[in-house]
Structures are given as structure tokens and as C-alpha cells.
Copies of this chain bind each other. A is one copy, B any other.
Amino acid sequence: MPVGTQGSVKGLSPADLRASGTQIILANTYHLMLRPGSKVIRDLGGLHRFMAWDRPVLTDSGGYQVLSLKGLVKVAEEGVEFRSHLDGALELLTPERAMEVQADLGSDIAVTLDHAVLLPLDPAAQREAGERTIRWTERSLRRARTLESPGGLGQLLFAIIQGGGSASLRKEMATRTAAFECDGFAIGGLSVGEEKRETWALARATAEALPVDWPRYLMGMGTPLDLLEGIACGIDLFDCVLPTRNARNGMAFSMDGPINIRNAEHTRSERPLDSECACEACALMSRAYLRHLHLAGEILAHRMLTLHNVTFYQTLMEAARRAIERGLYQQYAREFSERYRERGGDPPASA
């Protein structure tokens, strides 16, 4: 899922998103509840109509973004108290409010409020956040069942699983969360500073404790190689800002490794970003032109690199789906990863 933080996937129109192969986008509850406000969006018929996007939308619960705010954030049993980054107003995000806002937005998939804690964690804090997440999940789901979306459309409910860096606590949380009546599961609190090896061990432990036929969504990850690894762990859905954020920094993904479009080597390059890509940028524009636009501060550079990066991710996921359908996923992932690593691999973390 490309990330449409404020109701827009950076520079892309609905037609661009469809052309990129995007099936579903993520929108951020935190940003939209503050601006333009969820009641405004409800009054305008919900997020799909507001954004002119007629394919699925998943909204997050807002919890992660609130907990990541700089400044005073107080977590209590009732909910999370915080100040708006726009005007400093004091706000309270409770499990109930998170679901009310998402019902107003009218997303196809809403996510329960969780208590994520950043690493390092002592076992007592991990346990406390996990137990609170279970209680908030129950409250979120109970409230959500009483709500109606704009136009009366049904909303699927995903429950978030926490558990910090402990595989056994994550398994326990997954099992207890799976007892709730919901439509899918989101795995939160990973990729927050731990080693990659640990990330996958925890993701796998969590996924294995979940019912086999329910969708699993790994929140906030990752690079192309991460996605293939996640699929191998049993993950079905991902969201990540890398393709869109890196595009604005001048970084393009390609089968030949990451491209920094600012580099002087592209000054006279007639090559497209990725000769295997069919997006509008790769079909029409040279690296030389995109480099020029980026250095000149032209927004067409951001738009075209964003379109390319999102297309790159969607093409990768489409190929993975086809390989799974043919029973050849492991072979596909191994071959892609070997070739991709040989040619430069994932971008540096600082990109």
C-alpha cells in the first residue's frame, strides 16, 4: 500500500495510482482527523469520494503517529493524550475515538488502536503494553460494531498485535487477539531499531500463531528485499513510505540497484530509470532530464520518481503473487534477491 498521509499519495492523481498497479492505499487517521477533520470528510461522502479514489483504502488507527510525536504524549488506560502538531490543541485518542474517526473516513479496512512502545524494552513494559493493547483491541472492536460509514458501506476490522521483542509474548498476544471477532490482523511494533534477523523471527512467530486463512498486515515495512522476506514469513499486506519519501529525496528503485538521480553520472544519460519498467517516467524520460528537474526543484521530478517507485513496488508484488499462484515463490524470491543484491540491492538506510 502506497502511503497517502494527508489524503494524497505525494503528487500522484488517481489515474497515476491506477496506472502504477496500485490496488489499495493507506491513509493516516492522525493527519486527517486534524486536517481537514473527519466530520468534514464524512459530510463529503467519505475518503473515497473526497480523494476521487474508487479502490480500497486502509486507515491506520493513529496510535503509532501520536506516540511518535515530539513533545508531551501521555498514555493512560483511557487513551493517549497529545497535542496537535498543527495548532497545539490538546487531543485525546481513545480506542473508541480511533474507530469513530475511521468510520467517518469510510475506509474499507479500519485498524484497532494499540499501544506501541519503542525499543529497548524491559519485559515488564513489554507485557504492560501488550496487555493494554489487548484491552484496547476489545474496546476498539466493540465500538466499531456500533458505527456506520458514510453511505452505509461495510468496514473490515483488523486487530493489531504487539509484544515487543519477545517471540513468546508475541505468540501469546497473537493467540489471544485471534480469539476476537475481526477480519484480519496487523503486526505492529517491528522495525523500530532491532536487527533485521530479529524482525523476521518475531514476524514469523507472530504470523505462525495466527489463523491461516486470515489476512496479515505487517505495518510500516519495508524495502523490496524486506517485502519478499515478509511474504516468506506469511505476510499478505505491507505499507511503506520508502517509495514515496525516497522519490522526493531523488532516489529511484531499479532492477539495477538504487539510483541517486542527483549524481553527476546521470548528467547526459539518455537511459530511463529502469529499462524493465513501463511507467510514464521510464517510457518517456531520460535520467538526464529527471536529474535536471530534481536539481532545478521542479515538482515534476518528485511526481515522476514517485510514480516510478510506486510502480516498481507494485510490479514486484504482482510478480510475487504470480509466483505464489504457480507454487514457485521460494525460487522467485531467491532469484530476484540474488540478482537485485548483485546489482546494488536495497538503498542505504539514510536515503
Residue of B35, B267, B268, B300 touching A13 (CB-CB under 8 A): B300
Docked pose: A13 CA to B11 CA in angstroms: 12
Docked pose: A44 CA to B7 CA in angstroms: 38
Q: Name the segment of A93-101, A167-175, A286-294, A322-330 touching the other chain.
A: A286-294
Docked pose: A293 CA to B12 CA in angstroms: 12
The answer to whether B288 touches A36, judged by C-beta atoms less than 8 angstroms apart, is yes
Residue of B51, B284, B289, B299 touching A10 (CB-CB under 8 A): B299
Q: What chain B residues lie within 8 Å of A12 (beta carbons)?
A: 300
Q: What chain B residues lie within 8 Å of A51 (beta carbons)?
A: 289
Q: A13-B280, A15-B280 are in contact. Are A40 and B288 (CB under 8 A)?
A: yes
- Chain B residue, CB-CB nearest to A298: B8
Q: What chain B residues lie within 8 Å of A303 (beta carbons)?
A: 11, 13, 299, 303
Docked pose: A43 CA to B289 CA in angstroms: 12
The answer to whether B8 touches A300, judged by C-beta atoms less than 8 angstroms apart, is yes
How far is the CB of A287 from the nearest CB of chain B, in Å?
A: 10
Q: A50-B286, A50-B288, A289-B52 are in contact. Are A267 and B36 (CB under 8 A)?
A: yes
Total contacting residues, chain A, CB less than 8 A: 39
The answer to whether B44 touches A293, judged by C-beta atoms less than 8 angstroms apart, is no
A262-287 contacts to B (CB < 8 Å): 267-268, 270, 280, 284-286
A304 within 8 A of B: yes
Q: What chain B residues lie within 8 Å of A298 (beta carbons)?
A: 6-8, 10-11
A295 within 8 A of B: yes
The answer to whether A289 touches B14, judged by C-beta atoms less than 8 angstroms apart, is no
The answer to whether B280 touches A44, judged by C-beta atoms less than 8 angstroms apart, is no
A302 within 8 A of B: yes
A296 within 8 A of B: yes
The answer to whether A36 touches B300, judged by C-beta atoms less than 8 angstroms apart, is no
- Chain B residue, CB-CB nearest to A296: B6
Q: A7-B292, A8-B293, A35-B292 are in contact. Are A44 and B299 (CB under 8 A)?
A: no
The answer to whether A268 touches B43, judged by C-beta atoms less than 8 angstroms apart, is yes
Q: What chain B residues lie within 8 Å of A52 (beta carbons)?
A: 284-285, 289
The answer to whether B284 touches A14, judged by C-beta atoms less than 8 angstroms apart, is yes
Docked pose: A303 CA to B36 CA in angstroms: 20
Q: What chain B residues lie within 8 Å of A285 (beta carbons)?
A: 52
Q: What chain B residues lie within 8 Å of A267 (beta carbons)?
A: 36, 40
The answer to whether A44 touches B288, judged by C-beta atoms less than 8 angstroms apart, is yes
Identify the interface centre among A293, A295, A299: most chain B CB within 10 Å of its CB.
A299
Docked pose: A50 CA to B293 CA in angstroms: 11
- Chain B residue, CB-CB nearest to A304: B13
List, sorted by A's number, 17 A–B pairs whose CB atoms are closer than 8 Å.
A6-B293, A6-B296, A7-B289, A8-B293, A8-B296, A8-B300, A10-B300, A11-B11, A11-B299, A31-B296, A35-B292, A40-B288, A43-B268, A44-B270, A44-B286, A45-B270, A52-B289
10 nearest CB pairs, A to B: A52-B284, A6-B296, A36-B292, A8-B298, A8-B300, A11-B299, A299-B299, A50-B289, A52-B285, A44-B288
